Amino acid sequence: MKKWMMMLVAALMVLAACNGESQDEEENVETETPVETVAVKQEDFTETRSFSSRIMPNDQSPVMAQAAGEVEEVMAERGETVEEDDVLLEYQTQRGLLELVAPMDGLLTDFNYAEGDMLTTEEPAGMVIDRDPMIFQFQVTQSNRNLFSEGDTVTYDVSQANATGEAEVTYVASSTSDNGMFSVEAEADQPDDTIPSGLTGQIQLDHVVAENALVVPTEAVIERSGQTFVFIMEDGQAKEVNVSIIQKQSAETAIEVEDEQLAADDAVISSGQLTIEDGSNVRVVEEE
């Protein structure tokens, strides 16, 4: 009986030792964190600034009667395109039958007359406006004024007319208006005359924030314990590289590094980096 008990104790001790060795082996196995990488770019880093603007006609002129009188015959309608000296209507005055003519080429607006209506000399009978090119008028602060020069190209977006395109800056005020802002104008061709005057639009300007900067995905930049860094891979391990942020945007961030620790086309970890630390084992997986 005693011999049997001793054999059982010995077996249990061997089993416990095996289990301990198995646990030690499992603890010594280091896992690899799957990550994705993106190549560092080196380029001019820009930001888009947007300014609300109002669309104005290139030119406009009132249609004025020479004398008061009664409309005899109407030859034009509101919304028509007219040419200079086109007869819009004829009207009877004390001086006889006169013609009301277009003062310039353009679109006839605010014109609504029928036979028997009265004309006066006190108010315009209508307006003729020229909307090609259309003029974008907007105001900017002193700091933004320095971004504009005559001849620069900007883009416009008129959502109400579902229209986008390019415009040329034609005027930058050298002094402020009463509200302390600088007036700026840009013009864009509109040969089809589809965008009405009076609408609001957005003028957008791409401004270079940093020239020839290193650019990485914003999600690759980590701020932790007062430090800002990205991870690169070195011999299958994650390595921290301290960086300074020049400009951060939602998708990309321009950075600076010391001692050339990072260069264009180097790979930075862009996914999976939030669960690793300096020296963690990592492996690159393909983006799904």
Predicted pLDDT at 194: 83
**pLDDT (average), residues 3-25:** 53
**pLDDT (average), residues 51-70:** 95
Write b or e for each residue in 232-246: b if 16 or more Cβ atoms lie within 10 A of its Cβ, otherwise e. bbeeeebbbbebeee
Band (pLDDT 50/70/90 cuts) for residue 25 is: very low
**pLDDT (average), residues 79-86:** 93
Structure tokens at 285: 């997986």
Specify the CATH number of the domain 60-130.
2.40.50.100
Band (pLDDT 50/70/90 cuts) for residue 140 is: very high
Q: Percentage of the chain surpassing pLDDT 70? A: 89
HEC string of the chain equals CHHHHHHHHHHHHHHHHHHHHHHHHHHHCCCCEEEEEEECEEEEEEEEEEEEEEEECCEEEEECCCCCEEEEEECCCCCCEECCCCEEEEEEECCEEEEEECCCCEEEECCCCCCCCEECCCCCCEEEEECCCEEEEEEECHHHHCCCCCCCEEEEEEHHHCEEEEEEEEEECCCCCCCCCEEEEEEECCCCCCCCCCCEEEEEEEEEEEEEEEEEEHHHCEEECCEEEEEEEECCEEEEEEEEEEEECCCEEEEEECCCCCCCCCEEEEECHHHCCCCCEEEECCCC
Q: Does domain 48-57+132-209 have CATH number 2.40.30.170?
A: yes
How far from each other are the two terminal CA atoms of the chain, in whole angstroms?
65
Predicted pLDDT at 4: 52
Q: What is the residue type of 101?
A: V
Predicted pLDDT at 26: 47
Q: pLDDT tens digits, residue range 168-226?
A: 999 999 999 999 999 999 999 987 878 888 899 999 999 888 999 999 999 999 998 89
Q: Is pLDDT larger for residue 127 or for residue 13? A: 127
> The pTM is what?
0.65
Q: pLDDT tens digits, residue range 93-129?
A: 999 999 999 999 999 999 999 999 999 999 999 999 9
Q: Cis peptide leading into 133, omega within 30 of 0? A: yes
Question: Which residue bears the tokens 């104005």?
Answer: 56
CA 140 to chain centre: 17
Domain ranges of the chain: 33-45+211-284, 48-57+132-209, 60-130
Strand-pair category, 282-284 with 33-39: parallel
Architecture of domain 33-45+211-284: Beta Barrel (2.40)
Q: Percentage of the chain surpassing pLDDT 90? A: 76
As a whole number, the mean pLDDT across the chain is 89
Query: Is pLDDT at 28 greater than 50 in this prediction?
Result: no
Query: Is pLDDT at 6 greater than 80 in this prediction?
Result: no
**pLDDT (average), residues 7-29:** 51
Query: Is pLDDT at 267 greater than 90 in this prediction?
Result: yes
Predicted pLDDT at 190: 86
